[in-house]
Amino acid sequence: MPDAPTRPLGDGGTVRILLVEDDAETAAYVARGLEEAGHIVDRAADGQDGLFLATGGGHEVMVVDRMLPKLDGLSMVRAVRAAGIATPVIFLTARTGVGDRVEGLEAGGDDYLAKPFAFAELLARINALARRPPLQQEVTVLRVADLEMDLIRRSVTRAGRRIDLQPREFRLLEYLMRREGQVVTRTMLLEGVWDFHFDPKTSVVETHISRLRGKVDKGFGQELLHTVRGAGYVIRADG
């Protein structure tokens, strides 16, 4: 991975992001990070401005704090959705409430991130949402280099050789392959593959990845499953 230090998370492409956050320091920190990653950030410090900018359109992802002055984040997103704007939304919250996540998703949010969060986590999730394929586009076969996954026959082959996977390993690989070239964090995997909405102390994700790697990469010339230090994992053909 020669490019890892310079573009640790850069999976290419500029995303236009609306950031609605009232805490100036957090907003500056997030905006700086996103801009460094090559994205364009519009900022709003309260829900009303946020709604105004959001209805202006042109954003690919919105990052919205839940606690906002004038108009709280939930209401803002409800209003945005009511206006027929389907731009993906990530909620940020200082609350660790278990029910809050569901509440956020019900209000029209697409993802949910509790403060404090690692910046890499937010970036990975923004990238995942910005690149989400349209739902109607139903794929039956996923391909990364010579790795092929048949979603109908539930079979995986690499270079024509069959690879036997446990059901959960299959889901893990499918999750990664659907996001080819995107960094996927531990937390995203825990939520998306195992439906774990907390952070286990044991390194369960690492263990599962290393086993999957043993089956998918071991014995083949090219490595497909890469670890991105401090961020997560990515599956991609080029090194």
Partner 1 sequence: MADTAPRWAFARTTAFRVTLLHLALTLAGTALVGGVAWWVTAGFAVRQAGQEVERGMGVLLQAGALSGARGIALSIEARLAADRTGQEYYLLAAPDGQRLAGNLSGVSSERGWREGSIRLPDGTDAPVLMYAQPLPGGGALVVGRDLTAARALEQRLLTGAGWVGGAVLLLGLAGGLLIGRSVARRAAAMDAALAAVQGGDLDRRLPARPGGDEFDRLATRINATLDRLQALMAALREVTDDIAHDLRTPLTRLRQRLDDAARAPTAAAIGAAQAEADRLLEIFAALLRIAQVESGTQRAGFTAVDLSAIAESVAEVYAPAAEERGQTLATAIEPGITTTGDPALLTQMLANLVENAIRHGRPGGRVSLAVGADGIVVADDGPGIPEAEREKVFRRFHRLDASRSTPGSGLGLALVRAVADLHGIGIVLEDAAPGLRARLALPRTA
Residues in contact with partner 1 by CB under 8 A are 96-99, 102, 114, 116, 166, 168, 194-204, 207-208, 211
Cα separation, 70 vs 13, whole angstroms = 34
Q: Is 60 or 111 the residue whose CB approaches partner 1 more closely?
A: 111
Q: Is 115 or 132 the residue whose CB approaches partner 1 more closely?
A: 115
Q: Is 196 or 220 the residue whose CB approaches partner 1 more closely?
A: 196
Q: Minimum distance between the CB of residue 93 and partner 1, rounded to whole angstroms? A: 12
Q: Is 45 or 209 the residue whose CB approaches partner 1 more closely?
A: 209
Q: Minimum distance between the CB of residue 136 and partner 1, rounded to whole angstroms? A: 30
Q: Which residues pair with 238 in a beta bridge?
A: none
Q: Minimum distance between the CB of residue 192 and partner 1, rounded to whole angstroms? A: 13
Q: 101: closest CA among 15, 16, 196? A: 196
Q: Yes or no: say if 18 and 62 are a contact pair by the CB < 8 Å rule.
A: yes
Cα separation, 95 vs 82, whole angstroms = 25
Q: Is 58 or 200 the residue whose CB approaches partner 1 more closely?
A: 200
Please give the sequence-ordered ranges of beta strands (E in DSSP) within 10-94, or none if there are none: 16-20, 40-44, 61-65, 89-93
CB burial readout 150-166, b (16+ within 10 A) else e: eeeeeebebeeeebebe
Q: Is 78 or 95 the residue whose CB approaches partner 1 more closely?
A: 95
Q: Minimum distance between the CB of residue 190 and partner 1, rounded to whole angstroms? A: 8
Cα separation, 141 vs 160, whole angstroms = 14
Cα separation, 153 vs 190, whole angstroms = 25
Other Cβ atoms within 10 Å of 3 Cβ, number: 10
Cα separation, 9 vs 122, whole angstroms = 11
Q: Yes or no: say if 67 and 94 are a contact pair by the CB < 8 Å rule.
A: yes
The token pair that represents 180 in the structure block: 């080819």
Q: Is 55 or 203 the residue whose CB approaches partner 1 more closely?
A: 203
Q: Minimum distance between the CB of residue 40 and partner 1, rounded to whole angstroms? A: 28
